Amino acid sequence: MQLEFTHHQSAHCENGVASNLLRNKGIEISESMVFGLGSGLFFVYLPFIKVNHAPAVSYRPLPGLIFNRVAKRLKIKVKRIKFYDKSKAQLVLEQNLENDIPSGLQVGVYHLTYFPDEYKFHFNAHNLVVYGKEGQEFLVSDPVMEQVTRLTERDLERVRFAKGAFAPKGQIYYPTFIPEQIDWEGAIKKAIKKTCNDMLAPVPIIGVRGMRMVAKSILKWPKKHGVRKANHYLAQMVRMQEEIGTGGGGFRFIYAAFLQEASVKLNNPTLNDLSIEMTRIGDLWRDFAVEAARVYKKRSNQDDVYKVLSDLLLDLADLEEQFFKKLKKAV
């Protein structure tokens, strides 16, 4: 049993699953448009929550929010179900396949058998699509993989019911209603305003203020926790930025592509200019990641390395504050 489904590789799993599921329903929507419409660009610093024994830093909203926001803004209906009963979770998935419904799943990464070992760790907010079953194997479209793959019944159940933070609980989701007409202009404007409000929020742990809080914390980490732990904190921050769904720099590049598409749909050349500016900011995020990696790998030859990193992040916060103020005015 294999449904008609086209696999498109993407940079980020939730964007890719949303784009692939909606394309399957006849809506031509790119990964970048999904990310932008879902107000996926975000920053939050949660020092009171530890992820892999380091303060939590996130460059995106909570899992599921991007697709939910896209659906709301495009007037699409999406059904989501979580389960406590593993057998019921599999039954619903197989019923969907019998009814020609490719289904998005939230899963844990650690036990994905087709993932390279270096990318396996306890992260439960990954997304993929199951679009068929042959024998005892489910056919899987994981948007971060170049080609489609497969998981056995046992392996799929294991990742659907992974334990820990953001436990997926067998979550399955799929679109149930697509409108005949879509108000792209209204949806894009609402999405951009939401992103600007998030990044300029008057809350110390969110947006550009959150970035400044991290920058100040970087200066304190070596004295407060010792160099070894401070470097572990930096490593985790870079991992969340560069490896987990593209994070800081990569998300800026995706958002820049969204602004370029939005410029055409809204006939607003200013958005294209801002797209170029956001690409430059993304490059600077990558520079920050490289400098941080040199520090925790003990390859930096700069004096006062933590001050250098703090200053880089403060500069990024200033640039992004100016950027989002201009973007808000542009729509």
Q: Are residues 125 and 219 in the same domain?
A: no
List pLDDT tens digits, range 153-178: 999 999 999 998 789 999 999 999 99
**Residue 167 shares a structural domain with residue 207:** no
Q: Does one domain contain both 161 and 220?
A: no
Which among 244, 289, 23 has a CA at the least distance from the CA of 119? 244
Number of domains, the chain: 2
- Regarding whether 188 and 223 lie in a shared domain, the answer is yes
User: Would you place residue 303 in the very low, low, confident or very high pLDDT band (cuts 50, 70, 90)?
Assistant: low
Average pLDDT of the chain is 92
- Condensed to tens digits (0 to 9), the pLDDT of residues 250-274 reads 899 999 999 999 999 999 999 999 9
| Structure confidence at residue 183 (pLDDT) | 96
Would residue 230 count as lying in a domain? Answer: yes
Question: Does some domain include residue 68?
Answer: no
The answer to whether residue 43 sits within a structural domain is: no
269 and 170 together in one domain: no
What is the per-residue pLDDT for 244?
60
CA-to-CA distance for 109 and 142, rounded, in angstroms?
11
Look at phi and psi of residue 52 and say left if phi exceeds 0, alpha if psi is from -120 to 50, else beta.
left
Same domain, 22 and 154: yes
Q: Using one digit for the tens of pLDDT, what is the confidence trace for 183-224?
A: 999 999 999 999 999 999 999 999 999 999 999 999 999 999
Task: Let me know whether 173 and 188 are in one domain.
Answer: no
Residues 117 and 152 in one domain: yes
**Structural domain includes residue 5:** no
List the CATH number of the domain containing 24: 3.90.70.10
Phi, psi of 154 (to 5 degrees): -65, -45
Residues 6+ apart with CB under 8 A from 93: 103, 105, 130, 138, 172
Helix (H) / strand (E) element for 197: namely helix 184-199
Q: Do 203 and 132 sit in the same domain of this protein?
A: no
In-domain check, residue 137: yes
Give the global pTM.
0.91
158 plus 210 within the same structural domain:
no
- Helix/strand number for the chain, H first, E second: 11, 8
What is the 8-class DSSP label of residue 299? -
Residue 147 structural domain = 13-37+77-177
**Predicted local distance difference test score (pLDDT) of residue 238:** 84
216 & 232 share domain: yes
Domain shared by 199 and 306, yes or no: yes
